[in-house]
Amino acid sequence: MQLDEKISVIEAILFASGDPVETDRLALSAGVDISDIHRLIAVLNSEYSERGSALEVLKLEDSYQLATREGFAPYIKAALESKRSATLSPASMETLTIIAYNQPVTRSFVEDVRGVDSSGVISNLLEKELIEEAGRLDVPGRPVTFKTTANFLRCFGLASIADLPPLPSDNSQVTFDDVG
């Protein structure tokens, strides 16, 4: 298979999937060595850039996803105007932050941290595909745990969860004594 054909096959797989495709699965499906995937994706992204394409291939942890460039977001939002693309409320951002930094977590853990019922907020984040079920704990009641998704990484411009900014240390917290 020629280089152009390999790149076209990878592009077709990523386009048809719509979701992130794990690197090893992409290599196997495209019939290329896993060691060549990164280079082939780089060539594809270079071609997109050279012709000013609205597309790019994002690396999300150990997966790749075909996506539109960030600069086209306003046009896409205008065309698709849906609840899914609505801005997040402060409660949603707080809940999402708790899940992102502590994942996987239960709804009960989120509620203990926030001090309020979080069922509606978690449902909203699930609907927006920013979080997903991560399994169940092996304790009585077998509560569901939640984690962030590849869509979360894409929406917040992160390659992996490790790219989250560090939490402030206890020493850098502002107290009421410091204010005023």
Q: Minimum mean pLDDT among 13-22, 39-48, 70-79: which range?
A: 70-79
Task: Tell me what pLDDT residue 56 has.
Answer: 95
Task: Tell me what pLDDT residue 86 has.
Answer: 63
Q: In the predicted model, is pLDDT for residue 175 greater than 70?
A: no
Tens digits of residue pLDDT in 57-112: 999 989 999 999 989 988 887 777 654 556 788 999 999 999 999 999 999 999 99
**Cα-based distances in Å from 37 to 20, 28, 34, 66:** 14, 10, 5, 14
Q: In the predicted model, is pLDDT for residue 151 greater than 70?
A: yes
Mean pLDDT on 103-124: 92
This prediction has a pTM of 0.55
Tens digits of residue pLDDT in 18-38: 889 999 999 999 999 999 999
Interhelix angle 119-127/107-114, nearest 10 degrees: 120
Where do we find the tokens 């994002």?
Answer: 58
Does 3-72 match 83-166 in CATH topology? yes
Fold exhibited by the domain 83-166 = Arc Repressor Mutant, subunit A (1.10.10)
Fold exhibited by the domain 3-72 = Arc Repressor Mutant, subunit A (1.10.10)
Domain ranges of the chain: 3-72, 83-166
* Alpha-carbon gap, residue 174 to 156, rounded angstroms: 26
* Alpha-carbon gap, residue 59 to 42, rounded angstroms: 10
> Higher model confidence: residue 87 or residue 158?
158
Query: Strand order of the sheet with strand 55-60?
Result: 21-22, 63-68, 55-60
Report which of 158, 164, 138, 159 is spatially closest to residue 38, judged by C-alpha positions: 159
Q: In the predicted model, is pLDDT for residue 172 greater than 80?
A: no
